[in-house]
Structure 1
Amino acid sequence: MTIAGKIIAGIKIPDSAMAKQATELLREHGSELLYNHTMRLYLFAALRGKQNSLKYDDELFYVSTMFHDLGLTPHYRSDDKRFEVDGANAARDFLKGYGVPQQSLQLVWDAIALHTSPGIAEYKEPEVALLNYAAALDVIGRDYDKLSASDREEIVKHFPRHNLKQKMIGEFLDGFQHKPHTTYGSINSDICVCMIPGFVKPDYCDLIRHSPWSE
């Protein structure tokens, strides 16, 4: 199904060559669950931006959304970096091929790298804040009631959730169970504790008390 240019909940899906290629990469390397999740994110965020009259680069934001979870996939994930950083690096490399300026590259990198960082992302540029907002809305239902029921229903009709509440934890875990140490200091460490037998996340108090400093 060609999604480019389609209007859903009053929002037009970007149809530039760059947007189409980003979507194709998601379709190629991501699962159906990740694809639907990602498309919902874009639409949720675009509606929020429209409601709040935010000014931002829609095409760059769309690419940020397409890449935001690709760091979980076998094609893009590394052995030693947070999955958010893997996705951010992949998006930056992709955009360099389109001659996108450095400031915009950094904006996209920040949006992806910080999309699981509540308490930080919402205070940055609209592209960064919107991606964090939409990810939290789709995964944990934050601000669920601020989106109209009709918009929610239309978006989910086009991009079904497919038991996301039961499947998303496993989708996340698949992306970083080989490198659980990279989740330190992030919300993803909770997934490792929940799903990896015997995993104990580092305790910051212990790290302070056992630092090599003498005093």
Structure 2
Amino acid sequence: MITQMPKAVAGIKIPDSTITRQATELLREHGSELLYNHSLRTFLFAALNGEQKKIAYDAELLYVSAAFHDLGLTPHYSSPDKCFEVDGANAAREFLRGHGLPAQTLQLVWDAIALHTVPGVAPYKEAEVALLNYGVALDVVGKGYEQLSEAVREDIIRHFPRGGFKAKVIPAFFDGFKHKPETTYGTINVDICAFMMPNFEKKNFCDAILHSPWSE
């Protein structure tokens, strides 16, 4: 069950500002308990990686990025025709625009969310983009698991429990884009569609090339 936000977990201070408090409330309002806990664990894993590698990052922007990164899966923010990463990125951009933040900041957060499922690109961009990708990968597939002590992992999970995450997260992701499976083309989410839909046929890039309208 979602409880009051702690001030710090595993040595990482939880940003406490008007922007982060409002982002948390939106996550609580529109996200599930599963997505809430996943998003907060993602922030903490991302921030810990930044601290370990001595990477300068904006904790407030990283937190907002983590809070919004999966909100595109929710009915409130989901569009009929865009991939969920873009829906979440658009929502975060509008949220931050409402707080008067500059265009460069809006683009940074947009990129962090839009690219959080693109492991071949995100790690080479700005700190907040790379760190969010790292935090997501650690929580979802355990990338970098061994780089955190058992005590640190347990402290994070005690505050933000996994609650059967491995069994629940694939259906939870699928629920966010089952009405628009075509938007998963070119992303890791196409594997979720293939797993959850017995008759799902992946689009093939080679077929797209060979069957293009060009004569040669």
Per the normalisation by structure 1, the TM-score is: 0.98
Counterpart in the other structure of 2:127: 126
Query: Could you say what the CA RMSD is over the residues aligned between the two structures, in angstroms?
Result: 0.8
Deviation at 1:205, TM superposition (A): 0.8
CA distance in 1, matches of 2:182, 2:8: 41
Deviation at 1:197, TM superposition (A): 2.5
Q: Does 1:150 align with 2:151?
A: yes
CA distance in 1, matches of 2:63, 2:139: 16
Deviation at 1:147, TM superposition (A): 1.3
Q: State the identity %.
A: 66
Partner of 1:81: helix, strand, or coil? coil
Query: For structure 2, which runs of at least 5 residues remain unmatched after alignment?
Result: none
CA distance in 1, matches of 2:206, 2:120: 21
Please list, as runs of the form range in 1=range in 2, the aligned pairs for 1:6-25 lying within 5 A after superposition. Answer: 6-25=7-26
Name the amino acid aligned to 2:5. I
Deviation at 1:172, TM superposition (A): 0.3
Per the normalisation by structure 2, the TM-score is: 0.98
The count of residues paired between Structure 1 and Structure 2 equals: 214
Partner of 1:49: helix, strand, or coil? helix
Partner of 2:80: helix, strand, or coil? coil
CA distance in 1, matches of 2:64, 2:42: 12
Query: For structure 1, which runs of at least 5 residues remain unmatched after alignment?
Result: none
CA distance in 1, matches of 2:4, 2:60: 17
CA distance in 1, matches of 2:87, 2:75: 11
Q: Does 1:57 align with 2:58?
A: yes
Counterpart in the other structure of 1:3: 5
Deviation at 1:2, TM superposition (A): 2.6
CA distance in 2, matches of 1:141, 1:23: 24
Deviation at 1:148, TM superposition (A): 1.4
Name the amino acid aligned to 1:176. F
